[in-house]
Amino acid sequence: MPALICISPKLEPCFLAKKVIPVKPREFWAFVSPSVVVMTVLMVLPLFTTIYLSFFNFNFGTTPKFIGLLNYTRILEDTRFWQALGFTLFYMVVSIPIQIALGFGLALLLNEISGLKRFFISIYLVPYIVTPVVGTLAVSWLFKDRGFITWLLSSIGINIQWYADVVAARGLLIGYGIWGAVPFVMLMLYAGLQAMPADPIEAAIMDGATWWQRVRFVMMPYLRPIFIFIAMVNIMDAYRLFDSVAVMTQGGPGNATATIMYYTYSIAFQEQLIGRASASVILAVFVIITLLYPFLRQTYIDIVGGKK
Amino acid sequence: MKKRIIGIGLTIGTLAITAALSMGSAQQTVAACNVKAPANPTIINVFGFRFPMMEYYFNAAEACSKGSLSVKTSFLQPAQYETQVNTALATGTSPYQILHVNPRLVTEWGSKGWLLPLNVFIAKYKKQYNLDDISDKLINNTTLNGRQYALPVNFNTQIQFYRKDVFAELDLKPAKTLEEFTTVLEALKKASKTKYPLAIALGGGALAGEFHSNYAALGGVWFDKNKKPAFNNANGVKAAQAIRDWLEFMPPAVLNYTNDDVMVGLQQGDIALSKIWLTRASAMEDEKVSRVVGKIDYAPAFKFGGNGLGANTAEGDALAIAASSKVDPDLAFRVVMEMLGKSNQLNAASLGMVSRDSIATNPTLVAKNRAWVAAASNARQAVPLRPAVPFQGIATTILGNELRAALANKTDLKAALDLAAKKTEDEMRVQGFIK
């Protein structure tokens, strides 16, 4: 475990650090105050405003009126909210393991080959480089009724209604999500593999370990913190899935592909219920904190040590 | 030397591409704009949703850019446009000065005070711009409690577009009633001359609009005298059931179809029949994008129910001025008037039925535009527009959501309408429209 260095005027806040370099309070605040100001203005204030608005009936062009917890009640009573939450969780459960498995597979392949590495990395990074909305628009057109993929499939007798069939529409979004996220996973894990010391691998080879045993019992444990980090980032990304839904399916057919973010957007900007959308955001924050808690706890344990 | 030759080659290539692009995007001729540029640099942003006639008017607006005055135009898809304008107007300092509206948006935005009443300017410029020539019926659609919030640019209504070659081959006639419409659809499906017999835009807000046309033709009202939702009755179910019945003749993804999707389907020969806005007719004859040039004919919307009313509204698009705009409203108004000048409307008449009576009823133009005859019949049989009340938007959104879910999931329509009515009433209560 690499030693963490803490630069702090006090020792108490540095509970994660292994080594503490005390600094003068004036220097400490000079360093951190820009971040504190930016975080306060861009994150803390909007969060408190959102919490405040969630207790009001507030639409565009009207005066906010206090209604207590009514917005929360309305959201929790709304079947569309539960459908959206259900699809969001389904999307996460299905897409994230595939993203990680594919990304890890590609990282291993890259790690094995000696030539053309740069070429393959460039190719793999294309989905990550393309602007999300542009990529989504292009892909959505490929799968429209008159789209190239739809035409190609229909020419061999496969007729799929990508935007009318629930399974197809969900599959399309999940497939597109996987396509977009795999490069990030691959890049992170490939970097991890590159940084891995050769000794444990060589020792495993000496002990007669097969390629799969080396991957399973040497590489994967070594990369565990990176896997956790990737899982956390991908959970957050999947949870705030919006652009592909807004561009491709608009939540349809019916409400089958609406996600929590799209649901919140619909309430805020289509139904113009800003107070209720604020309540939806707060509920969404609670859900994501709950989902991330095990990963955050594991990260804390990995760094500080202690009972798992 | 070699570098110089490459440089000259690149320059010539760039110029050639630029010239080719500018030729490709050559705009239709617009009339000269007679607005005098203000003393100070001024930008007027014109914002709307796209269809051929509106593109022409926006080009006409850009012709007013001269000296210190710059007129910029932009388009979005209708749903995104509404979202963006809602947010912009709510901020109290609209970045857009001239806005594309329809009667529903006039009600929604006008009742919140987001649009500028134009009565003063209309009185001031009535003679100069011959505003008496604009249809009174269209003006009524843009007026709320005596305040006129917008100037109509066209007459628009949902007429039947049909493939006359297919109809002739199958010996079919455009439907005059709902029953005939069903018969025609079955014949088209059986003959399979096109990929789908029918397409009607049902995506976004269009579904609630389609429901309204059917429901109002049956004499249905959205709210009772106590302002409570009243669309969950037998007529409401009949109106919704008709849409469900049509689904089997339409593309499976039609619940997401915009008017653009339907227009493209018609242009590409995938669809034999549609009920779509008159403003889409000119696009059928555009050789650059249409495979059905000369093959489409037009008929009024069929009558729905026994009241003699068609499943159509008669309305139109209009131009309004944002109340919170910092630009001189007199200047913005004059730009609007230049856009709607008689010369521009004469040119725009090739793209649809304009708002000036002298042009819309001109016998020569009517003879040239086959769709106008159908549109004129539609005007006589049109259902009333949705109520111009501030809570109509609540009912429209909720009904649209519940009906779409019921149609997509094949669930009970009466239950969906009941749920929509209950949710609408609850929401109206929360928002203080009823006690």
Taking only the tens place, the pLDDT of each residue in A79-104 is 899 999 999 999 999 999 999 999 99
CA B398 to chain centroid, in Å, comes to 21
**Any chain B CB within 8 A of the CB of A299?**
no
The two tokens of residue B356 are: 């000036």
**Residue pair A263/A280 in contact by the 8 Å Cβ criterion:** yes
| C-alpha span between A228 and A94 (Å, rounded) | 17
| C-alpha span between A55 and A68 (Å, rounded) | 5
**CB-nearest partner of B256 from A61, A65, A250:** A250
Percent of chain B residues topping a pLDDT of 90 = 71
For residue A2, the model assigns a pLDDT of 41
| C-alpha span between B415 and B417 (Å, rounded) | 6
Whether B414 has a pLDDT exceeding 70, the answer reads yes
The two tokens of residue A151 are: 């035409």
The DSSP 8-state label assigned to residue B263 in this structure reads H
| C-alpha span between A292 and A240 (Å, rounded) | 13
Ramachandran class of B319: left when φ > 0, alpha when ψ lies in -120 to 50, beta otherwise: beta
The two tokens of residue B361 are: 């009823």
Residue A15: band (very low, low, confident or very high) from pLDDT cuts 50, 70, 90: low
User: Are B252 and A161 in contact (CB < 8 Å)?
Assistant: yes
pLDDT tens digit sequence for B258-294: 999 999 999 999 999 999 999 999 899 999 999 999 9
User: B188, B206, B195, B194: which is closest to B243 by C-alpha?
Assistant: B206
Residue A305: band (very low, low, confident or very high) from pLDDT cuts 50, 70, 90: low
Give me the mean pLDDT over the A176-190 stretch: 93
For residue A164, the model assigns a pLDDT of 87
**Residue pair B262/B270 in contact by the 8 Å Cβ criterion:** no
Residues of B with Cβ-Cβ distance to A253 under 8 angstroms: 253, 255-256, 408
The residue type of A266 is S
Please state the CATH superfamily assignment of the domain spanning residues A74-304 in this structure: MetI-like (1.10.3720.10)
Residue A255: band (very low, low, confident or very high) from pLDDT cuts 50, 70, 90: confident
For residue B413, the model assigns a pLDDT of 97
Domain borders along chain A are 5-53, 74-304
Q: Per mean pLDDT, which of A63-67, A293-297, B217-221, B346-350 is the most reliable?
A: B217-221
| C-alpha span between B10 and B16 (Å, rounded) | 10
Residue A1: band (very low, low, confident or very high) from pLDDT cuts 50, 70, 90: very low
Whether B251 has a pLDDT exceeding 90, the answer reads yes
For residue A11, the model assigns a pLDDT of 46
Whether B113 has a pLDDT exceeding 50, the answer reads yes
For residue A122, the model assigns a pLDDT of 86
Residues of A with Cβ-Cβ distance to B261 under 8 angstroms: 145
Give me the mean pLDDT over the B420-429 stretch: 93
B285-315 as b/e: b if 16+ CB within 10 A: beeeebebeebbbbbbbbbbbeeebbbbbbb
For residue A106, the model assigns a pLDDT of 94
pLDDT tens digit sequence for A110-148: 988 877 888 888 888 888 888 888 889 999 999 988 889
Return phi, psi of residue A231, to 5°. -60, -40
**Any chain B CB within 8 A of the CB of A80?**
yes
Nearest CA in chain A to B264: A146
Written as one string, the DSSP assignment of chain A is -PPPEEEESSSGGGTT-SEEEE--HHHHHHHHHHHHHHHIIIIIHHHHHHHHHTTEE-BTTS--EE-TTHHHHHHHH-HHHHHHHHHHHHHHHHHHHHHHHHHHHHHHHHHH--SSHHHHHHHHHHHHHS-HHHHHHHHHHHTSTT-HHHHHHHHTT----TTTSHHHHHHHHHHHHHHHHHHHHHHHHHHHHHHS-HHHHHHHHHTT--HHHHIIIIIHHHTHHHHHHHHHHHHHHHHT--HHIIIIITT-STTTT--HHHHHHIIIIIS-BHHHHHHHHHHHHHHHHHHHHHHHHHHHHHHH----
pLDDT tens digit sequence for B50-67: 888 999 999 999 999 999
Sign of CA dihedral A138, A142, A143, A147: positive
* Nearest CA-CA distance, residue A65 and chain B, Å: 9
For residue A117, the model assigns a pLDDT of 83
pLDDT tens digit sequence for B379-398: 889 999 999 898 998 999 99
User: Are B83 and A271 in contact (CB < 8 Å)?
Assistant: no
CB pairs under 8 A between A and B: 75
Cβ neighbours of residue A38 closer than 8 Å, sequence gap 6 or more: none
| C-alpha span between A129 and A10 (Å, rounded) | 42
User: A283, A286, A287, A265: which is closest to A274 by C-alpha?
Assistant: A265
User: Are A253 and B251 in contact (CB < 8 Å)?
Assistant: no
ipTM value of the model? 0.76
The whole-chain average pLDDT of chain B stands at: 90
**CB-nearest partner of A164 from B252, B394, B405:** B252
| C-alpha span between B215 and B395 (Å, rounded) | 14
Return phi, psi of residue A41, to 5°. -70, -40
User: B386, B377, B384, B352: which is closest to B160 by C-alpha?
Assistant: B377
**Any chain B CB within 8 A of the CB of A163?**
yes
The residue type of A29 is W
B 216-275 residues with CB < 8 A to A: 251-256, 261, 264-265, 268, 270
Residues of B with Cβ-Cβ distance to A74 under 8 angstroms: 430
| C-alpha span between A48 and A54 (Å, rounded) | 10
**Residue indicated by tokens 């789908």:** B196
The two tokens of residue B114 are: 């987001």
Topology of domain B42-153+316-355, CATH: D-Maltodextrin-Binding Protein; domain 2 (3.40.190)
The two tokens of residue B238 are: 């009949």
Residue B154: band (very low, low, confident or very high) from pLDDT cuts 50, 70, 90: very high
Percent of chain A residues topping a pLDDT of 70 = 92
**Any chain B CB within 8 A of the CB of A256?**
yes
Neighbours of B149 (CB within 10 A): 26
Secondary-structure class of domain B156-314+386-430 per CATH: alpha beta
**Residue pair B202/B405 in contact by the 8 Å Cβ criterion:** no
**Residue pair B435/B283 in contact by the 8 Å Cβ criterion:** no
Domain borders along chain B are 42-153+316-355, 156-314+386-430
Percent of chain B residues topping a pLDDT of 70 = 94
pLDDT tens digit sequence for B11-42: 665 555 555 444 444 456 888 898 888 989 99
Residue B153: band (very low, low, confident or very high) from pLDDT cuts 50, 70, 90: very high
For residue B270, the model assigns a pLDDT of 94
pTM over 0.90: no
pLDDT tens digit sequence for B309-321: 999 999 999 999 9
Cβ neighbours of residue A207 closer than 8 Å, sequence gap 6 or more: none
pLDDT tens digit sequence for A204-234: 999 999 999 999 999 999 999 899 999 999 9
The two tokens of residue B31 are: 């009339």
Residues of A with Cβ-Cβ distance to B79 under 8 angstroms: 250, 270
Nearest CA in chain B to A77: B423
The whole-chain average pLDDT of chain A stands at: 88
**Any chain A CB within 8 A of the CB of B112?**
yes
Cβ neighbours of residue B61 closer than 8 Å, sequence gap 6 or more: B44, B46, B71, B73, B98, B335, B338, B339
